[in-house]
Structure 1
Amino acid sequence: MENLHVLGPETAKRTWKVILIGVGIFFFMFMSLFAGGGSVLQQNQGLQWNESIGDPSEYARKMIPADLLPLYMQAGAKYNIPWQVLAAIHMTETTFCKKGCPVSSAGAEGPMQFMPSTFAAYAVDGDGDGKADIQDVADAIFTAAHMLAEDGFNKNPRQAIYAYNHSDAYVNHVLGLAQQFSNGDIGGEVGSPLGEAKYQALMSEATKYEGRPYVWGGSNPSTGFDCSGLTQWVYGSIGIQLPRTAQQQYDAVQHISQAEAKPGDLIFFSGTYDTTDSVTHVGIYVGNGKMYDADDYGVGYHDLSGYWMQHLYGFGRVK
């Protein structure tokens, strides 16, 4: 205060104005950087949805284990990655596995399916126990967030997710799940192109056989079902005739993008066994990251896991 008196009253007033303006600017910048609830689209310019990064959707609360949600949010906040994306990757890779997770045929390990060398390059001790463990779910989630950040998620989300798993179908699937985990509409999965009555009739017939084993060459309730035998039978029950094999069914339907897919459409895969056909498996797409099909685990609802997304061929709509 003594220095202000020496400067004179007018100078003192100007000095106080400068100080107050500076404090105001600092406060504004502080709030801009740290205020929560910002738009994902505003923070990550390439991301293809515009929802709050705050509260999870009803679908997220239903699907995501309650003890994992805080981990996604903490890791996301630390590395500026939408928590929905981390949850979507975890669901896609191992269906929220926490421990004892499978090792892929390529050697990827743990809840988030890292190659050991990749994990070592980005490893984070997420739970603070003094070590980064590829099999520890907290460490794996934080390491995934670190990797996405290092791969430029905030500049190009699609490219960063592609670096995690080199498949455009995988990227689309992760972003689609992330959208569903956000507040707001699930989007293109509302309704069925078959119409509600036919779709319900389709699934009513399909679920009669839930739990039955997969039978190669089976095409009716007496013989059991393989994948295309099941789809041929249940669509036939609502008056839609499909040819016999997965390849023939793909050739017979209208091809649509993943973004256009709705419950009641068909989902096709390739490379699931050795054959000259491009398409080797088919299921009924039911939305929310699931299909209803006959596979090695039997007839029923199955998650579109990392394995299936790696083999995704396309979607089709019956004509």
Structure 2
Amino acid sequence: MNNKSFQGDHIDSAKVGAAKGTAGPANGTGSERLRPAFKIIKENLTQCLFWAENAGMERYFQHQAELAQKECNLRCPEDCSAPGCWMAEVIVEVSLFDLIRLSLVLNTPVSSLFFQHCFIGLENLEINSRYQRLLIKLKKPCNFLQKAHCRVHGSKPLNCILFPEYHQLKGMIPDLVNNPIFKGFPCLKAEIKVSQARSNALETLRGMSCREEALSNHFIFDTPSFIIDSKPLTKLLKQDQSKDLSGSMQDYEQLVSVVLKSSGFFEGIMNSIYQLDTRLGKESLFEKLKDDALMKPLLEKLNRPEAIYRLKGNRFIRLKRTLQPPEVIFM
């Protein structure tokens, strides 16, 4: 295998404006997030908490659907092939609450939706691409995509709803247009008009998305941000002479998948997800979303990871170090 395809001890990382992005190897096949970086004002988080505390689960999701439609004037161009829905390079993070919402609408177990539409994947950290974050990714092409239309448009993941209008609010469109991955997106070629009411709705949805992602990750990974040191993974991939590996994100994800399954970690993830197949399990997780004492530290750890994990043997072990911009701080 030609080790020149590997960039030192990490996969190259690309950044799109304020978005947290991941990119693949130097061959140009990168990947970028649809989700902007975590920057939510206190008022938006307070409003999200109000809705979680004062509404039942169905009403909470109904409110999200209403916010998603609030003065939405964005219409996909006729020539749009829905590239964000089928391009593997575009990462769409899915939370357990996205799956619960779909479960209620489609009358399908959460675990079935996970197996059919998601997988446990990775994204490079913007501040240091040697480190990668574990997350639930939407499979590509999206199985809900029918020709160029979404079969679950009214219940799709929040990160799908936020793109591209929220990125317009944050001034990220010029950077996206200049990025090779997003350059051909028809919706980015014309000005995206967002009213003040629409802006407020999107900010609220973004706050909800942050809370849901933090709790979702904590529920299945036992931490809001499961950060992996990719150096040992890179070493293993370089040593594997049986395969023609390029050091792509897919290569890393396949290796991590093997580790998670052999160590029993994936079984633990699925045991947590299976709990959500019951009404009691769904409501129990939703109740945690209302607990501000629980959510505040989780949101802080989502934005500022508290620990790093490294492969040792056949499992990931927690190291005594924290990850803080702009460098890793050893304890």
TM-score normalised by length of structure 1: 0.24
| TM-score, normalization by structure 2 | 0.23
Larger radius of gyration: 1
